[in-house]
């Protein structure tokens, strides 16, 4: 794996609030090695450790992108929805930002059928086939398309299981994370002080409630993916 310098600045992390954890009464004792202090009733994450794990995660996604691997970014909390979609689009990754449909990965054949139906409906609409149908039928098809777009729009071009999945909130996306564990799909996960650091392959201790913190982490990962993709394309030409 190629090692790179990802310019992970501790001062910028503090400014983004990456170090701010949860109320100490809500902590997970397994997070003890990643906590440096307790201030005003909340735990403070050790940013030196965060920087090390974030750097390792960047190395991993850079190396994977350099080999043409696929990524899925998952973050369904309302306040991070647009951020996840934007970051994934920039890195040309698949994403789920509204709701995780149980079995999306572990029951891949069913998901694949849904995606094919979604793609077929989109194609029929673009070709103008809806115009030949009765208004009632068109209305039903448009409602179905709207539902597909809401829940599967970010994975509509996914043709197989992703090679790596990135999660922005362990608690919120626990079902999806467990599916990856079952399937043996490598995972990267932001973990706040109330999370379990042992579930994901790479756990990045960080504030998962503040947009600036999540954006900081995602920006680094996305930049590494984009750089890796550039290497992959350069070698292919």
> CATH number, domain at 206?
3.40.50.10490
Whole-number pLDDT of residue 160: 96
Same domain, 60 and 131: no
Domain boundary among 92, 119, 154: 154
Angle of helix 135-152 relative to helix 108-126, nearest 10 degrees, comes to 130
Residue 6 in any domain: the answer is no
pLDDT digits (tens, 9 = 90+) for 92-142: 999 999 999 999 999 999 999 999 999 999 998 888 888 888 888 889 999
Whole-number pLDDT of residue 81: 95
- Give 77's DSSP letter: S
Same domain, 82 and 184: yes
Same domain, 96 and 183: yes
Q: For the stretch 45-75, what's the b/e string if a residue is b when 16 or more beta carbons lie within 10 angstroms of its beta carbon?
A: bbbeebbebbbebbbbbbbbbbeebbbbbbb
Whole-number pLDDT of residue 126: 87
| Sequence-separated contacts (24+) of 19-25 with Cβ below 8 Å | 19/44, 19/45, 19/47, 19/50, 19/207, 20/44, 20/45, 20/207, 20/210, 20/213, 21/45, 21/192, 21/193, 21/194, 21/207, 22/192, 22/193, 22/194, 22/209, 24/193
Comparing 132 with 1, the larger pLDDT belongs to 132
Question: What SS3 state is found at 52?
Answer: helix
Question: What SS3 state is found at 26?
Answer: helix
For the chain, the straight-line distance linking the first and the last C-alpha, in angstroms and rounded, comes to: 22
Number of domains in the chain: 2
Same domain, 38 and 138: no
Same domain, 98 and 148: no
| Residue 20 main-chain phi, psi, to 5 deg | -80, 120
Alpha-carbon gap, residue 54 to 194, rounded angstroms:
19
Whole-number pLDDT of residue 155: 97
Same domain, 231 and 123: no
pLDDT digits (tens, 9 = 90+) for 160-204: 999 999 999 999 999 999 999 999 999 999 999 999 999 999 999
Residue 1 has pLDDT above 90, yes or no: no
Integer angstrom CA distances of residue 203 from 57, 80, 187, 200: 9, 19, 8, 6
Whole-number pLDDT of residue 233: 80
Alpha-carbon gap, residue 65 to 70, rounded angstroms:
7
pLDDT digits (tens, 9 = 90+) for 38-77: 888 899 999 999 999 999 999 999 999 999 999 999 999 9
**Residue whose pair of structure tokens reads 């090695």 in the numeric block:** 33
State the residue range of the domain holding 145.
108-154
Same domain, 67 and 170: yes
Same domain, 194 and 87: yes
Same domain, 169 and 65: yes
Domain boundary among 118, 136, 154: 154
Question: What SS3 state is found at 124?
Answer: helix
Residue 21 in any domain: the answer is no
Pair 84, 157: CB distance under 8 Å: no
Same domain, 207 and 117: no
Residue 50 in any domain: the answer is yes
Whole-number pLDDT of residue 237: 60
Q: Compute the half-sphere exposure of residue 41: CA atoms within 13 Å on the CB side of its CA.
A: 3
Same domain, 95 and 193: yes
| Mean pLDDT (whole number) for 139-151 | 93
Whole-number pLDDT of residue 2: 52
> CATH number, domain at 147?
1.10.287.610
Residue 126 in any domain: the answer is yes
Same domain, 129 and 56: no
Domain boundary among 93, 119, 154: 154
Whole-number pLDDT of residue 134: 86
């Amino acid at each position: 794996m190629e090692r790179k310098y990802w310019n992970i600045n501790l001062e910028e992390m503090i400014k983004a609030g990456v170090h701010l954890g949860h109320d100490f009464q809500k902590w997970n004792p397994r997070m003890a090695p990643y906590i440096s202090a307790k201030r005003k009733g909340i735990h403070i994450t050790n940013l030196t450790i965060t920087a090390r794990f974030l750097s390792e995660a960047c190395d991993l996604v850079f190396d994977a992108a350099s080999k043409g691997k696929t990524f899925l970014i998952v973050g369904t909390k309302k306040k991070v929805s647009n951020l996840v979609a934007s970051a994934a689009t920039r890195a040309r990754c698949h994403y789920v930002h509204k709701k995780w449909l149980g079995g999306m990965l572990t029951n891949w054949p069913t998901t694949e059928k849904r995606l094919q139906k979604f793609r077929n409906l989109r194609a029929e609409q673009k070709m103008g086939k809806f115009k030949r149908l009765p208004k009632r039928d068109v209305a039903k098809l448009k409602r179905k398309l709207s539902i597909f777009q809401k829940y599967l729009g970010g994975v509509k071009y996914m043709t197989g299981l992703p090679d790596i999945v990135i999660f922005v909130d362990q608690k919120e996306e626990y079902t999806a994370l467990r599916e990856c564990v079952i399937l043996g799909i490598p995972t990267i996960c932001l973990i706040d002080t109330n999370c379990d650091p042992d579930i994901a392959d790479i756990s990045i201790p960080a504030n998962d409630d503040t947009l600036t913190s999540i954006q900081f982490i995602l920006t680094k990962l996305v930049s590494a993916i984009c750089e890796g993709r550039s290497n992959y394309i350069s070698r292919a030409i």
